[in-house]
Structures are given as C-alpha cells and as structure tokens.
Amino acid sequence: MLGIIRQKVGAGGASLLRTRSAVSALRSYSSAGKEMTVRDALNSALDEEMSADPKVFLMGEEVGEYQGAYKISKGLLEKYGPERVLDTPITEAGFTGIGVGAAYHGLRPVVEFMTFNFSMQAIDHIINSAAKSNYMSAGQISVPIVFRGPNGAAAGVGAQHSHCYASWYASCPGLKVLTPYSSEDARGLLKAAIRDPDPVVFLENELLYGESFPISAEVLDSSFCLPIGKAKIEREGKDVTITAFSKMVGYALKAAEILAKEGISAEVINLRTIRPLDRSTINASVRKTNRLITVEEGFPQHGVGAEICTSVVEESFGYLDAPVERITGADVPMPYAANLERLAVPQVEDIVRAAKRACYRSVPLAAAA
C-alpha cells in the first residue's frame, strides 16, 4: 500500500534538545546525507543495548534463526549467541511469564510479540505480573522489561491481526507505553525503553519498518536516547493542533502540507509516548492554536484521542475556539476487502476535513444512518 516513502521532516533534523532552528527539509537532507529505515534503527538500538549491558536479552518467536519475523533482530543471534537471543515456542502466556520472572531476578528482557494481537494471550503477565509489581511490593520488585512488536493495522491482514492496543496498555498505571514514528524515534525510544527500570510496552508499526528517514550523527551515536514522556513538535503551526502517533504522524504531516496551501497553519505533534502522556506540550499547543484534532488508527471508544480531548477540556477549556475533533479507525472489526479496509482507517483527507471543520471552513456532512 505505502511502499517506501521519502519523509520530509519539517522542523529541523534530529535534535533531542530542540535547540536547532527550523531548517528546511531539503537542506537538512543533503547536509546530513544519511538515511536509515525504521527496521535498521530498531536493529541497531537492540544491538547497541545488548552490547552495552550483558543483562539485556531478546526472546520471542523467530527472533533468532529466522532473523526476526520482520527482520528486526537480524544478525543478533550470530553476534550474541543462543543464550541471549532465544527462539520461543508459540506460547505467549508461558514465555511472557518467563520474561517477567527473569526481570524480577534482575535481568533486562526484551520480549517480542510477533504482533501485539498475540499479546492478549499474555496480557495478564503484562498487567498483573509486570505493571503492578513495583507498587504491590512497595518497591522491592521492579520489572525492567520491554514488550515490543508491531501494533495496529497492517495491510490486508484482517480483523484479528489489525487491532491497536495503545489505549489498552496506556490505561494501566505502572506501564510506560511508547509509540515511535521515525527512525530517530525508533532508536532513541527503544534505547530509553531498554534502559528504563519499569515495564515498557513498545508499539511499533509493521508498515513503517521499511520507511527511510534522514538521520543525524547525533542519533547514530550509541549513547543517543530520547526522553520518555516528551512529545515532539514535528511541524510548528498556529491555527490548529494535530496530535498523532506512529504511522498517523506521517499522515498528519501530509495533511498539514495540504492545509498550508489553503492558508491553514497546522501544528503537528508526534506524541512519541502515550503513557505518560505529555499533557503539557499538548495543552501549550492548544493554548496557542485554540483548535485540536486528535488522530489515531485504533478504535474510537475509550481511545487515545478521548484521553487527549479530556485533558484539554480539563486544562485549557477557555482556550478552545472549536469542539475537539477526533479522527480514528472505524468502529468496526477490520475488514479484508481493499476498499472497505481503506474506509476503516483514517486517510489524509479525513484529517484535512476535520481541521477545516475546526477552523469553520466547511460544513460537515451529516452521517448517514
């Protein structure tokens, strides 16, 4: 569906500190020169963290000899051996419990789910064995584990393989939930997740694995790390705020381009972390623009957008000039037929339309029953 798309990163290259002024995408492109796919970004992050800390190990289905179902763990078995890169049987409840137990004892497991749909078989261990242990034990048992894998819709894989779990995991205290978009995000957030002493749910996106992003020397350094709980302003704007995470960041940026041609300046926020949510960045942006569109691929009810909307209503009600709009996946199990699938996930034009509505530029069509 998407293939490999050249990404124009709007505001400056890969600045952790956001001190660089906005440089045009083309200029940063040619001066940085280097590009990296999300796949390579994840692979290099895993490699570097395993090299730096002998307690880090990787387990999951096909992560070893198969080189990873999506080749994220390519080369790691050869480099670190079968004691640190472990192929598991297809038994998520069992191997996730084993991973959490290893974390109790002080190791730093990275547990891969081939997709997060299969994490439901192990969700008791993620929630009850991992997330809550530090609290229930009053700090005796911390759980430095990372659960990672592709999340959400892919292409044509149907209802059971397309569910987004961002809001599921983000509702649980004790977990941290990260959603990288670009290669810089993938590297920096995965490194942060592995170094973090708490259980982290790391939601990747299958369709982003093959996408290339420009990447700076700073990001390539093995000490590079991004802060957990801090969103990134991907594109500055003044008329409407668009929040997004994972693949939808790309869509939001495209929508921002289209809106710019129509005289609407959109500020695009890449959430990067869903829990803890960066409420202050979101609210600061809405106080500036006075309008908010939340974008996500997952189901609408009790979704990420619902939480963001509520946060803004609670903190910045007086600043809103229009109702908050949310663009989400359709409220149906994911269909297979290509035309229906297209209707089941947000498209760029949906984001554009919502932004215009928030700017009172068009009248929304009444929903047919």
Partner 1 sequence: MALAHVASSTSRSNLLRPISAIISPNLRRQLSTDDTRTLTIETSVPFTSHQCESPSRSVDTTPSELLSFFRDMATMRRMEIAADSLYKAKLIRGFCHLYDGQEAVAVGMESAITKKDSIITAYRDHCTFLGRGGTLLQVFSELMGRIDGCSKGKGGSMHFYKKDSGFYGGHGIVGAQVPLGCGLAFAQKYKKDGTVTFALYGDGAANQGQLFEALNISALWDLPAILVCENNHYGMGTAEWRAAKSPAYYKRGDYVPGLKVDGMDALAVKQACKFAKEHALKNGPIILEMDTYRYHGHSMSDPGSTYRTRDEISGVRQERDPIERVRKLILSHDLATEKELKDTEKEVRKLVDDAIAQAKESPMPEPHELFSNVYAKGYGVEAFGADRKEVRAVLP
Residue span binding partner 1 (CB under 8 A) among the ranges 11-19, 62-70, 94-102, 202-210: 94-102
Tell how strand 35-37 and strand 212-214 pair up.
Answer: antiparallel
Q: Which of residues 188-247 bind partner 1 (CB under 8 A)?
A: 196-198, 227-229
Report the residue number, 10 or 144, with the smaller CB distance to partner 1. 144
| CA atoms of 274 and 208, how far apart (whole Å) | 18
| Cβ contact 150:204 at 8 Å | yes
| CA atoms of 44 and 46, how far apart (whole Å) | 5
We find the least distance from the C-beta atom of residue 95 to partner 1, in angstroms, to be: 6
Torsion sign across C-alpha atoms 327, 330, 336, 338: negative
Q: Report the residue from 42, 100, 266, 344 that binds partner 1 according to the rule CB under 8 A.
A: 100
| CA atoms of 153 and 166, how far apart (whole Å) | 12
Report the residue number, 24 or 280, with the smaller CB distance to partner 1. 280
Of 246, 321, 245, 328, the residue nearest 281 (C-alpha): 245
Q: Residue 358: in which H helix or E strand, if any?
A: helix 348-358
For position 91 contacting partner 1 by CB under 8 A, the verdict is yes
Report the residue number, 89 or 263, with the smaller CB distance to partner 1. 89
Q: Report the residue from 3, 19, 21, 173 that binds partner 1 according to the rule CB under 8 A.
A: 173
Report the residue number, 125 or 357, with the smaller CB distance to partner 1. 125
For position 101 contacting partner 1 by CB under 8 A, the verdict is yes
**Annotation says 125 is catalytic:** no
Q: How far is CA 39 from the centre of its chain?
A: 14
Annotated catalytic residue, options 49, 112, 125, 161: 161
| Cβ contact 165:116 at 8 Å | yes
The one-letter amino acid at 29: Y
Binders of partner 1: how many residues, by CB under 8 A? 48
| CA atoms of 206 and 204, how far apart (whole Å) | 7
We find the least distance from the C-beta atom of residue 305 to partner 1, in angstroms, to be: 19
**Annotation says 92 is catalytic:** yes
Contacts to partner 1 by CB under 8 A: 57, 83, 86, 88-89, 91, 93-107, 124-125, 128-129, 133-142, 144, 173-174, 176, 196-198, 227-229, 276, 279, 314
Residues labelled catalytic:
92, 161
